[in-house]
Amino acid sequence: MTIHLQRFIVPKGATVDLDRWATTTKREYNAGNHYKEQLLSDVDELSRLQRLLYASDSYSVLLIFQAMDAAGKDGSISHLLTGVNPQGCEVFSFKQPSAAELDQDFLWRTTRKLPARGRIGVFNRSYYEEVLIVRVHEEIFRRERIPQEPVATASTWKGRYRSIVDLEKHLHRNGTIIIKFFLHLSKDEQRKRFIERIDDPEKNWKFSQADIAERKYWNDYMTAYGECLSATSTKAAPWHVIPADDKKNARLIMSRIVIERLRELKLRFPKLSRVQQTELRTIRKQLSR
């Protein structure tokens, strides 16, 4: 089944009003085992491409996941990377910054975790938190103690957007492929998932009072996300807004996006020189004896 992926991309320079972006879309799987079959096929293909990425040792890939609570980031990462060799992939989750991290610039703690060539890095939340949660909760910004900026203003966020775009342009020029996902969940679907976490003893650990407290800021977050997506979606590193009310559908869409982006690199296994090929034939003869 072909998924038209272009419709999920935020065009460069577009003004994003998330109220106009759907949280549901046409289901890309049929009844029965079709979803599992599709996902397994995608996992196999992603595993093949990851081996090529690792062997070619030229590009690195950075997957960024941003979303409201309960949108399905953790499950999506787990399903997408099921078949990927752990040696070629690292996942980092960024929570509240430590005291040491607050003593550095806002990009420092994430740039330290960028993937090396040949590897896939996954950011479960990222430096984008600095223009999202920090914007919604300005007490966090005050703890960062920015000289000449005791209070955040519109120019503060514009400056951070520019720093982020400049960083991503630099990474792109140096071989890092950045794939950014915003899992777009409806407020009502979040409510249903919170209730499910409360009702299911095996999911109780996922829920906290802080989740409800953050829900009160929903409109503020939608404004912050909308402006962030508008300001930082570029040709080299576009944002993908993924309708996330259907977890299975969202996973299939994201897996196809990653696969297509890796295919575009036209990766090949390294080709040995004639000298190296001669050496291998000699070694093979020795082993055959």
Q: How far is CA 197 from CA 203, 211, 283, in A?
A: 5, 11, 59
Residue type at position 271: K
Which H or E run includes 280? helix 274-288
Chain mean position to CA 84: 16
Q: Angle 48-53-55 (CA atoms, 0-180°, nearest 5)?
A: 95
Q: Which two tokens stand for residue 57?
A: 């040792």
| Sheet arrangement for strand 239-243 | 89-93, 120-124, 60-67, 176-184, 239-243
Based on its alpha-carbon atoms, the radius of gyration of the chain, rounded to whole angstroms, reads 21
| Fold of the CATH domain 5-288 | Rossmann fold (3.40.50)
Residue 2: its pLDDT value, please?
58
Q: What is the DSSP letter of 269?
A: P
pLDDT tens, N- to C-terminus, the chain (289 residues): 557 889 999 999 999 999 999 999 999 898 888 999 999 999 999 999 999 999 999 999 999 999 999 999 999 999 989 888 888 999 999 988 888 999 999 999 999 999 999 999 999 999 999 999 999 999 999 999 999 888 999 999 999 999 999 999 999 999 999 999 999 999 999 999 999 999 999 989 888 888 899 999 999 999 999 999 999 999 999 999 999 999 999 999 999 999 999 999 999 998 888 899 889 999 999 999 8
Q: Which two tokens stand for residue 80?
A: 């997408």
Residue 224: its pLDDT value, please?
98
Residue 250: its pLDDT value, please?
96
Residue 116: its pLDDT value, please?
97
- pTM for the model stands at 0.94
